[in-house]
Amino acid sequence: MGYQILKNHKKKIQKNNNKIQKVGKDMAWCFRNIRRHMCMLMRQNFAQSCEKKLNDQINLELKACHQYLAMAYHFDRSDISSPGLHGFFLKASAEEREHAEKIMTYVNKRGGLIVLSSVPEPLPCFASSLAALKYALKMELEVNRHLLDLHALAGKESDPNLCDFIEANFLQEQVDGQKILADYISQLERAQNDVGAYLFDKYMAGGMHPAK
């Protein structure tokens, strides 16, 4: 008898908890839509397709940020000790985060809603410096392709402001960054041995290219 009373009591508690959770979700939905409405008051000529593509770009930049951070500290390990690559990838990580934040600020200015998704787990280590640089170039090409698609979409949606934002802040910088990575890969491929890789890292730490 006592067991049945306790069981019924637990059911009532669970039912009340479910109600509380539902109220909490409803309130969160309500506040989100109030904020959405306030954003919409100053929204003009900003297509939902562009808003979604910008959110995709934000998450792509954050993915690159995490990957570069993992790469930086891979090359900081005592059994690898490549300070040149460590510094290079650490700077690249900070730049990708800066790009993401710049786009988030822009989305807010246009009256959009920022939607962040889970960041995939980055690759933790690489077989060689060359493998890491090739992976970085592949990642930059992916980011640039997405930016070009975003620019094309902005043109299709007749959004000159978004076109100008992408051109002024990203396109040339992406081309410059890809050239730097391609140069590093060419230099390292010529080294072809451990001594060459060591000298390349020292060369890289000294600054093979002027600051962008």
Residue 211 belongs to a domain: no
- Tell whether 178 is in a known binding site: no
28 is in which domain, residue-wise? 1-41
Looking up residue 56, the CATH number of its domain turns out to be 1.20.1260.10
CB contact set of 48 (below 8 Å; sequence gap of 6+): none
101 is in an annotated binding site: no
Residue 210 belongs to some domain of the structure? no
- In 3D space, the residue among 104, 103, 95, 129 whose CA is nearest the CA of residue 212 turns out to be 95
pLDDT of residue 212: 43
Q: What is the pLDDT of residue 125?
A: 94
Is residue 212 in a domain? no
For residues 60 and 58, what is the distance between their CA atoms, to the nearest angstrom? 5
Is residue 173 a known part of a binding site?
Answer: no
Residue 201: how many other CB atoms lie within 10 Å: 23
96 among the known binding-site residues?
A: yes
When divided into structural domains, the chain yields a total of: 2
CA-CA distance, 106 to 101, in Å (whole number)?
9
Please indicate, yes or no, whether residues 86 and 174 belong to a single structural domain of this protein: yes
Q: Which residue, 96, 45, 84, 39, is CA-closest to 202?
A: 84
Q: Is 61 annotated as a binding residue?
A: yes
Domain-embedded: residue 147? yes
Buried b (16+ CB within 10 A) or exposed e, 26-49: eeeeeeeeeeeeebeeeeeebeee
Same structural domain, 122 and 177 = yes
Instruction: Tell me, yes or no, whether 50 and 25 share the same domain.
Output: no
Q: What is the pLDDT of residue 201?
A: 66
Give the chain's residues under pLDDT 70.
Answer: 1-39, 193-198, 200-212
Distance separating alpha carbons of residues 174 and 144, to the nearest angstrom: 6
The pLDDT assigned to 4 comes to 55
Q: How far is residue 66's CA from residue 94's CA, in Å, rounded to a whole number?
A: 10
DSSP 65-78: HHHHHHHHHHTTST
- Residue 49 is predicted with a pLDDT of 96
Q: Smallest Cα–Cα separation from 106: which of 33, 55, 36? A: 55
Identify residue 137 by its one-letter amino acid code: L
If asked whether residues 53 and 34 sit together in one domain, one would say: no
